[in-house]
């Protein structure tokens, strides 16, 4: 199943964007084998944070890559793969003996996908960082939040949107190219690059003089009163995105307000007064009352749901946007395909759960596997 059925990928276990990219590729039907670190108390603690739903759809082999025998086994896995993805700092894979040069020597068609925060080169390439640091350098963090301070937008923009998505996209592109050329290549995905590209529309607005360098002063950052959130009578919130004239007219009509009071709505100087009118209106009813009132309308109003509520929303239920795997609701694979549907092939695997079976499949004898176990490599 899935459009990537038949593609074989090796994933070096990590945290954040690399596991998410591995999940995306596995959801699309790729056979992904994750090389985990040999289980220890430290690794178990790491997996408790990094693992979970992001590890779905993959098989796992645990290798101690400090041992030459384990590195040799990893290269044997690479020899039969179409791609490898990793999320270590620059130079780590090379020091392990598993860098692009070594891997491409074993498999010239291999796509070697790398995801880092700063990229493989540049003044900051070797320094530590996290999502919030990477998006800080792109303009994205500065643009999000209240007037008086930026607000971390979870780790969606750097780790997942600007990182994992672009890694998966880059690997898919390189796989298509390799089918024609017969040659692999390195995909250098950096969260700073990806997050910057996600800001393309904002930079376009700035170039045309339509973006102010302050928060909640622009059309889509909460500045415009017809694109933002409003508190309801029960303390919960609704989201309003009534940009177009016909949508704003539907909003005003449903709220029972006079349309003439909003004739100057595109003038930023009128925004505070318009916002005050909308705040007063939304404060009169609960979130769910407003949700029922606006249901089926073109007013572009939606309830702001928390992560417990979202899987139960009727639209999400109808589309199976969330699915139950192992008793836990989780987001379903996306996007959707008419002929080769994506699916979650298996729940998350414990580190090393299928190591021996994986090695048997690529031709390892029982004797070689036992030798790896004796030296602690497997």
Q: Tokens at residue 47, please?
A: 């997996």
H/E stretch holding 201 reads helix 200-207
Is 130 one of the catalytic residues?
A: yes
Residue 220 CA to residue 222 CA, distance in Å, equals 6
Burial (CB count within 10 angstroms: exposed 0-12, middle 13-18, buried 19+), residue 121: exposed
Active-site residue identified among 36, 47, 131, 159: 159
What span, in angstroms and rounded, lies between the C-alpha atoms of 24 and 83? Answer: 14
For 208, residues 6+ apart whose C-beta sits below 8 A from its C-beta are: none
CB of 369 closer than 8 Å to CB of 359 = yes
3-state secondary structure of 228: strand
Look up residue 199 and give its DSSP letter: T
* DSSP track, 121-170: SSTTTTS---HHHHHHTTTTTTTSEETTEE---TTIIIIIIIIIHHHHHH
Name the CA dihedral angle for 214, 219, 221, 224, rounded to a multiple of 10 degrees.
Answer: 100
The bridge status of strand 31-37 relative to strand 59-63 is parallel
Active-site residue flag, 298: no
- Token duo for residue 268: 């930023």
| Angle, in degrees to the nearest 10, between helices 68-79 and 366-374 | 140
Say if residue 95 is exposed, middle or buried (CB neighbours under 10 Å; 0-12, 13-18, 19+).
exposed
- The catalytic site residues sit at 130, 159
């Amino acid at each position: 199943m899935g459009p990537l059925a038949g593609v074989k990928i090796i994933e070096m276990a990590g945290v954040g964007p690399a596991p998410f990219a591995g999940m995306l590729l596995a959801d699309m039907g790729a056979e992904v084998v994750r090389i985990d670190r040999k289980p220890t108390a430290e690794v178990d603690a790491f997996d408790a944070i990094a693992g979970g739903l992001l590890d779905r759809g993959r098989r796992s082999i645990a290798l101690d890559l400090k041992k030459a025998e384990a590195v040799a086994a990893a290269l044997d896995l690479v020899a039969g793969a179409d791609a490898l993805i990793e999320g270590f700092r620059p130079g780590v894979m090379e020091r392990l003996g598993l860098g692009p040069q070594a891997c491409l020597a074993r498999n010239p068609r291999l796509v070697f996908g790398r995801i880092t925060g700063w990229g493989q080169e540049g003044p900051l390439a070797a320094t530590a960082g996290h999502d919030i640091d990477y998006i800080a350098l792109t303009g994205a963090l500065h643009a999000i939040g209240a007037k008086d301070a930026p607000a971390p937008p979870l780790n969606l923009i750097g780790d997942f949107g600007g990182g994992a998505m672009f890694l998966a996209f880059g690997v898919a592109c390189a796989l298509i190219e390799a089918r024609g050329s017969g040659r692999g290549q390195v995909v250098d995905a950096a969260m700073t690059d990806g997050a910057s590209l996600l800001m393309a529309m904002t930079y376009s607005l700035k170039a045309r003089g339509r973006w102010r360098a302050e928060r909640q002063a622009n059309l889509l950052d909460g500045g415009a009163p017809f694109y933002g959130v409003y508190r309801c009578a029960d303390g919960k919130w609704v989201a309003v995105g009534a940009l177009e004239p016909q949508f704003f007219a539907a909003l005003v009509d449903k709220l029972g307000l006079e349309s003439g009071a909003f004739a100057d709505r595109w003038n930023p100087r009128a925004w505070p007064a318009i916002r005050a009118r909308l705040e007063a209106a939304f404060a009169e009813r609960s979130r769910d009352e407003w949700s029922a009132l606006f249901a089926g309308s073109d007013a572009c109003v939606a309830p702001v749901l928390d992560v417990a509520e979202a899987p139960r929303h009727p639209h999400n239920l109808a589309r199976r946007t969330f699915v139950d795997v192992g008793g836990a609701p989780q987001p379903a694979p996306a996007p959707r395909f008419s002929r080769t549907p994506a699916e979650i092939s298996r729940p998350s695997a414990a580190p090393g759960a299928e190591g021996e079976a994986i090695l048997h499949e690529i031709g390892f004898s029982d004797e070689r596997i036992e030798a790896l176990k004796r030296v602690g490599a497997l």
